[in-house]
Homo-oligomer: A and B are copies of this chain.
């Protein structure tokens, strides 16, 4: 035990020991039943006389904070509720450097505070960015984990290869090929979720103050990241066919961005897909202006109808596009396993940058995922998910038509997770939110998805895969009530 002692102090050493232990016990950091070191051991650790420690222990025992069991040791007692608790902050002011820290992610922090203030105990939530947790194959995965731990033992708990567990990279190659993107295991880097992939790529390619182009609106988690890293974020407008690539060239000339971040498939939050000609045009422009493309394909395969579009990466003549995806949305968010596909010098830099950032992603989880996610199983899971999610989307579309006023507008999405809903012009989704929460339903207000923080006032995002159909109907009914209340307040 490393207790801080001040040998220059006028306070006797035994009392310093006593005060230190006393404070720990009263604050609860030294929990009841914790065994304290034997007095001889602690004396040796601290370089003091054994009597010094024994005196400290004796006083603590007299205060009823610890007790000695003969031949067994000295243990912490549960603190008496009548004893005064030590204060957390003894009045010392924070150092200046702490006082001047600016939290660049504060905006989202406030958002979360506001979210917590929901009055309804169990709202039906359409706010999240992930699928229904109850669809995750937890029991199957438990068995796989067991098999892997039995099979690999110690090896499952080592650091592993720096670009990720090789058999998992091979599996990902096969899954990507079965979805229409051909690559090689040596071009794949396993990351801690797709969020880490976005973080590594953008940090490698930009420095604070550099400009990144994103769709406007776009994924709020990416916006939070880019802002926290100090980048200037410029929006490219989006319509029903995805990013307005016609508007891109002017932005490229004007801003000289270091990166274009795009979600071409089932865009977050709008649910649109970039059409084929725009995909090719985007690649041509990126090449002409020498700007890398970061393609976030978070749910590219969750298509319920209509014609597929190739991933931008599948159109890449070589080294133009960095493709990021994840198993989190469809399988298990808490596993935190995503990946990126890249080639050329940037791939090696990303591998090294990942290593200096956190060494590796848990090898145990990578091994378990590899054992679980065969191509066949992935395809089966995808088919099943598409069936379930299509029904949920249809349930939400019906519910919206049934329960929301006619002034509400939306494009029915052909896949993905989200419906992007436009309220009548005068309604503000930020103002709708507290009313909706009172009714017992939750959504993501549109404003948080805009890079300049000004757009989307009368928009909101609904996740249609997170709830079963009856809950969807119930939730949209509640949303309808909230909208009517807000409309009434405007009259």
User: Which residues of B lie under 8 Å from residue A133 when comparing CB positions?
Assistant: 154, 157-158
Flag if B358 contacts A334 (CB, 8 Å): no
If A24-B182, A225-B357 touch, whether A89 touches B318 (CB-CB below 8 Å) is yes
Cβ contact of A230, chosen from B106, B207, B280, B335, cutoff 8 A: B207
Cβ contact of A358, chosen from B146, B179, B196, B309, cutoff 8 A: B196
Flag if B317 contacts A92 (CB, 8 Å): yes
Flag if A154 contacts B142 (CB, 8 Å): no
Chain B minimum-CB-distance residue to A348: B103
Cβ contact of A138, chosen from B5, B139, B157, B353, cutoff 8 A: B157
Flag if B333 contacts A101 (CB, 8 Å): no
A58 proximal to B (CB < 8 A): no
CB distance from A188 to the nearest CB of B (A): 11
A439 proximal to B (CB < 8 A): no
User: Which residues of B lie under 8 Å from residue A387 when comparing CB positions?
Assistant: none
CB distance from A452 to the nearest CB of B (A): 19
User: Which residues of B lie under 8 Å from residue A195 when comparing CB positions?
Assistant: 356-359
User: Which residues of B lie under 8 Å from residue A402 when comparing CB positions?
Assistant: none
User: Which residues of B lie under 8 Å from residue A47 when comparing CB positions?
Assistant: 306-307
Chain B minimum-CB-distance residue to A363: B334
Q: How many residues of A contact B (CB 8 A)?
A: 129
CB contacts under 8 Å to B, within A101-124, are 101, 103, 105-106, 108-109
- Looking at A170-178, A392-400, A405-413, A428-436, the stretch in contact with chain B turns out to be A170-178
Chain B minimum-CB-distance residue to A300: B2
> Interface readout for A336-358 with B: 1 if CB under 8 Å, 0 if not?
10000000111011001101111
If A1-B179, A95-B320, A319-B94 touch, whether A160 touches B105 (CB-CB below 8 Å) is no
A228 proximal to B (CB < 8 A): yes
CB distance from A165 to the nearest CB of B (A): 10
A29 proximal to B (CB < 8 A): yes
Q: How long is the Cα–Cα vector from A199 to B35 in the complex, in angstroms? A: 35
Chain B minimum-CB-distance residue to A153: B138
Q: How long is the Cα–Cα vector from A46 to B336 in the complex, in angstroms? A: 32
Q: How long is the Cα–Cα vector from A291 to B97 in the complex, in angstroms? A: 7
Cβ contact of A192, chosen from B34, B150, B333, B358, cutoff 8 A: B358
User: Which residues of B lie under 8 Å from residue A310 when comparing CB positions?
Assistant: 2-5
A244 proximal to B (CB < 8 A): no
User: Which residues of B lie under 8 Å from residue A44 when comparing CB positions?
Assistant: 307
A145 proximal to B (CB < 8 A): yes
Cβ contact of A353, chosen from B90, B105, B142, B156, cutoff 8 A: B105
> Interface readout for A380-392 with B: 1 if CB under 8 Å, 0 if not?
0000000000000
CB contacts under 8 Å to B, within A81-101, are 88-90, 92-99, 101
Q: How long is the Cα–Cα vector from A94 to B224 in the complex, in angstroms? A: 31
CB distance from A87 to the nearest CB of B (A): 11
A315 proximal to B (CB < 8 A): yes
A7 proximal to B (CB < 8 A): yes
Residue from A1, A108, A134 having most chain B Cβ neighbours under 10 A = A1
A461 proximal to B (CB < 8 A): no
Flag if B308 contacts A45 (CB, 8 Å): yes
Flag if B98 contacts A319 (CB, 8 Å): yes
Q: How long is the Cα–Cα vector from A134 to B99 in the complex, in angstroms? A: 46
Q: How long is the Cα–Cα vector from A143 to B103 in the complex, in angstroms? A: 41
Q: How long is the Cα–Cα vector from A315 to B184 in the complex, in angstroms? A: 52
CB distance from A394 to the nearest CB of B (A): 18
Flag if B334 contacts A379 (CB, 8 Å): no
CB contacts under 8 Å to B, within A350-377, are 352-353, 355-365, 375-376
Flag if A2 contacts B318 (CB, 8 Å): no
A183 proximal to B (CB < 8 A): yes
Flag if A7 contacts B154 (CB, 8 Å): no
A290 proximal to B (CB < 8 A): yes
CB distance from A11 to the nearest CB of B (A): 15
User: Which residues of B lie under 8 Å from residue A287 when comparing CB positions?
Assistant: 95
User: Which residues of B lie under 8 Å from residue A196 when comparing CB positions?
Assistant: 357-358
A31 proximal to B (CB < 8 A): yes
CB contacts under 8 Å to B, within A159-202, are 159-160, 173-174, 176-184, 191-193, 195-196, 199
Chain B minimum-CB-distance residue to A23: B182
A483 proximal to B (CB < 8 A): no
Beyond contacts A4-B310, A31-B177, A138-B157: 14 other A-B pairs, Cβ-Cβ < 8 A, are: A2-B310, A3-B314, A24-B182, A29-B184, A30-B182, A46-B308, A88-B184, A92-B317, A95-B287, A108-B352, A156-B334, A158-B333, A334-B363, A335-B362
9 closest Cβ pairs, A-B complex = A4-B310, A47-B307, A2-B180, A105-B352, A142-B149, A196-B358, A29-B177, A334-B363, A157-B332
